Chain A
Amino acid sequence: SQTIHQWPATLVQPVGSPLSLECTVEGTSNPNLYWYRQAAGRGLQLLFYSVGIGQISSEVPQNLSASRPQDRQFILSSKKLLLSDSGFYLCAWQSSGASEQYFGPGTRLTVT
């Protein structure tokens, strides 16, 4: 069966510090991968999606970036965090474009 992991589970970082969040998927090959952010009391915002290694699409301009160094690994990064980057970051995968999406447990990021 397929499993999706995210780490760390929680993170507190000062403004201006770098960020690296990791997501890995087990039990499937060539998944579509997604990064979402959920701000407190708000809906999900799609940040990045990837349909293959090295293929990253960005939905919103921001100081975040994403990379997919391996088929089942998706990384969210920032060189310098802003206060507005605080939120709940969710990774998701799906086997093909119109199939069911499955979410990871999320990372709670607080920028202080």
Chain B
Amino acid sequence: KQEVTQIPAALSVPEGENLVLNCSFTDSAIYNLQWFRQDPGKGLTSLLLIQSSQREQTSGRLNASLDKSSGRSTLYIAASQPGDSATYLCAVIGVDSNYQLIWGAGTKLIIKP
């Protein structure tokens, strides 16, 4: 059974720092991995989607990598800003999951001004 883990559960860093959020999954047989952002009381915003055949995707200051064989993905945020404060969630669609997203519990990120 696919399980997704995000470490750390919470992270607080000063503004301007580069940071990395981690996501690991137990079964490497996936179709894709998706990173989301959720602001308090709001819906989820899709940040990046990495297909299983891809190694990374970039959008602005965000870069997501995927190492399927080791079951890991990282979300790199460059030059962090207070507006980046949110909960970041990763989710995978496993080959055996009937196209359902399997979710991590999220990392709550606080960027201190």
User: Could you tell me which residues of chain B, from 10 to 55, have a CB within 8 Å of some CB in chain A?
Assistant: 31-32, 34, 36, 41-46, 49
Given the contacts A90-B43, A106-B42, A46 and B99 also touching, CB distance less than 8 Å: no
Q: Does B86 contact A (CB under 8 A)?
A: no
Whether, in the assembled complex, B64 has its beta carbon less than 8 Å from a beta carbon of chain A, the answer is no
Evaluate contact between B99 and A32: CB separation under 8 angstroms.
Answer: yes
Q: Which of B46, B89, B104, B106 has the most CB of A within 10 A?
A: B46
Report if A100-B34 is in contact (Cβ < 8 Å); known contacts: A43-B103, A43-B106, A46-B100.
Answer: yes
**Number of residues in B with C-beta < 8 Å to the partner?**
21
The answer on a CB contact under 8 Å between A46 and B31 is no
Residues of chain A with a CB closer than 8 A to B89's CB: 43-44
Which secondary structure dominates chain B's binding surface?
A: strand
Count residues of chain A with CB under 8 A from any CB of chain B.
21
What is the interface of chain A, defined by CB distance below 8 A to chain B?
6, 32, 43-44, 46, 49, 59, 88, 90, 92, 97-106, 108
Given contacts A43-B103, A44-B103, A46-B101, contact A98 B31 (CB under 8 A): yes
Q: B residues 79-113 with Cβ under 8 Å of A? A: 89, 91, 93, 99-101, 103-106
